[in-house]
Amino acid sequence: MTTGTFLAILGAALAALFAGCGSAIGVSIAGQAAAGVISEDPDKFSKVLILELLPATQGIYGFIIAFITFLKIGLIGSGSLALSTAAGLSVLAGCLPMAIVGMISAIYQGKCAASSIAMVAKRGEVSGKGIILTVMVETYALLALLVSFLSVFMLNLG
């Protein structure tokens, strides 16, 4: 295995790692708020569950980038490529937006979700608005996903 291949795998690992950690923290923040609401009013379970799940997507995006990277460097499927160091660094750089933006946006989205859950506790009928507010944060994770995807996928690794 070359240093380049190692760097590419490192990039994939970082994307899955940081985005996954961020989602875990975000979902946990929202989940704690949700548990409080359910203890008062179990009927709101489905409403707060949707809000709790919103910060979970960053982990999935990180996973997607890791998977695409594995596919690209041939770890899955068509036999491993021997990447040059420069190529490996390029893949690593491409993975970084998903890793960093994914983690931070998931944590902050979790906080936003927790506030929306508190809002649902007071007024159940506005849960749709709470979802929209929370999803605003996710825009940037989606943009990071696209940037990481395009840079990893379009790279010519030869």
Partner 1 sequence: MLIGNNKEKKELLKTLTKAGSVEIGNTHDIERADNVDVGKRREEVSLKLARLTFAFDALKEKTSELKRMVKAKSADKSSVPKKVMFAPKPEVSYDDFVECTKNEDEIFRKIEEMNELNNEYVRLKSEETKLKSEAKAMSVFESVKLPLDIFRNTKNTVISLGSVASSKIEKLENLLSGVEYATCETGEDIGGSTAVVIVSVKESRDKVQEILAEVEFTPIGVSDVRRPADIIAHDKERIDAIAKRRSEIVEEIVSYEENTLSFKMLFDYYTLENDKLSAEEKMKSTGTSYILEGWLPKTEEENIDNILSSSPLALAYIIREPIEGEIPPTFCVDNSLVAPYQSVTNMFNVPCYREVNPNPFVAFFFFLFFGIMVSDAGYGLILTLASGFILFRMKPKKMDASLIKIIFMGGISTMFWGVMFGSYFGEALLPAVMFNPLDKPVNMLILSLGMGLFQMLTGMAINAYRLFKERKPLDAIFGVFSWYILIIGIAVIFLVKGDVGKITGIVLLAVGLVGLMIAGALHKKGVGIVSGAFGKLYGIINFFSDLLSYSRLFGLGLATGVIGMVLNQIAVVLVELIPVLGIVLAAALLIGGHLFNVGINTLGAYVHNSRLQFIEFFGKFYTGGGRLFAPLGSNIKYYYITDRR
Interface residues with partner 1 (CB under 8 A)?
50, 53-54, 56-57, 60-61, 63-64, 67-68, 76, 128-129, 131-132, 135-136, 138-139, 142-143, 145-146, 149-150, 153-154
* Distance in Å, CB of 36 to partner 1, minimum: 21
Question: 102 with 18: CB under 8 angstroms?
Answer: yes
- 145, two tokens: 């996903």
Q: Which is nearer to partner 1, 64 or 93 (CB)?
A: 64
C-alpha span between 60 and 55 (Å, rounded): 10
Q: Distance from CA of residue 1 to its chain's centroid?
A: 29
CB of 65 to partner 1, least distance (A): 9
The DSSP-derived string for 49-104 is HHHHHGGGHHHHHHHHHHHHHHHHTTSSSS------HHHHHHHHHHHHHHHHHHHH
Identify which of residues 3 and 63 has a Cβ nearer to partner 1 in the complex.
Answer: 63
Q: What minimum distance in Å lies between the beta carbon of 118 and partner 1?
A: 19
Residue nearer to partner 1 on the CB measure, 3 or 114: 114
| Comparison of 16 and 37: residue with beta carbon closer to partner 1 | 16
Measure Cα distances from 42 to 39, 47, 129 in Å.
Answer: 6, 10, 20
CB of 108 to partner 1, least distance (A): 17
